[in-house]
A and B are shown apart, each in its own frame.
Chain A
Amino acid sequence: MGVDEQTLLDPKLQEYIDRKIKDGVAEALASQPKEEKTPRLAMVASKGTLDMAYPPFILATTAVSLGWEVGIFFTFYGLDILHKDRYKSLKVGPIGNPAMPPPIPALPFLKVPNLISALPGMTAVATAMMKSWIAKAKIPTLPEMMEISMESDVRMFACGTTMGMMGVVEEDLIEGCEVCGATTFLDYASSANVSMFI
Chain B
Amino acid sequence: MELPVADQELDCQGLLCPVPIIRTSKTVKQMEVGQVLKMVATDPGSMPDMEAWARQTGHELLSASEEEKVYTFYIRLTK
Contact = CB atoms under 8 A, between A and B. Distances in A.
Contact of A66 (B14, B16, B17, B53): B53
Given A138-B19, A139-B19, A140-B19, A65 B14 contact: no
A90 B69 CA distance: 34
Contact of A138 (B15, B18, B57): B15
DSSP class of B's interface residues: helix, strand, loop or mixed? helix
A58 interface: yes
A169 B18 CA distance: 32
Given A67-B56, A67-B57, A62 B18 contact: yes
A148 interface: yes
B22 interface: yes
Contact of A139 (B16, B25, B52, B56): B16
A65 B17 contact: no
Nearest to A145: B18
Interface residues of A, number: 14
B21 interface: yes
A65 B18 contact: yes
Contacts of B14: 138
Contact of B24 (A39, A65, A137, A140): A65
A194 to B, nearest CB: 12
Interface string B18-43: 11011011000000000000000000
A39 B58 CA distance: 13
Interface in A127-153: 137-140, 148
Contacts of A39: 56
Nearest to B56: A66
Interface residues of B, number: 14
Main secondary structure of the interface of A (DSSP, over half): loop
A145 to B, nearest CB: 9
A40 to B, nearest CB: 13
A64 B16 CA distance: 17
Contacts of A62: 17-18, 21-22
Given A65-B22, A65-B24, A65-B25, A58 B17 contact: yes
A61 interface: yes
Contacts of B15: 138
Interface of B: 14-19, 21-22, 24-25, 52-53, 56-57
Of all A-B residue pairs in the complex, the 5 with the closest CB atoms, nearest first, are: A65-B25, A66-B56, A62-B18, A65-B21, A61-B18
12 contacts: A58-B18, A61-B18, A62-B18, A62-B21, A65-B18, A65-B22, A65-B25, A65-B53, A66-B21, A66-B56, A67-B57, A139-B19
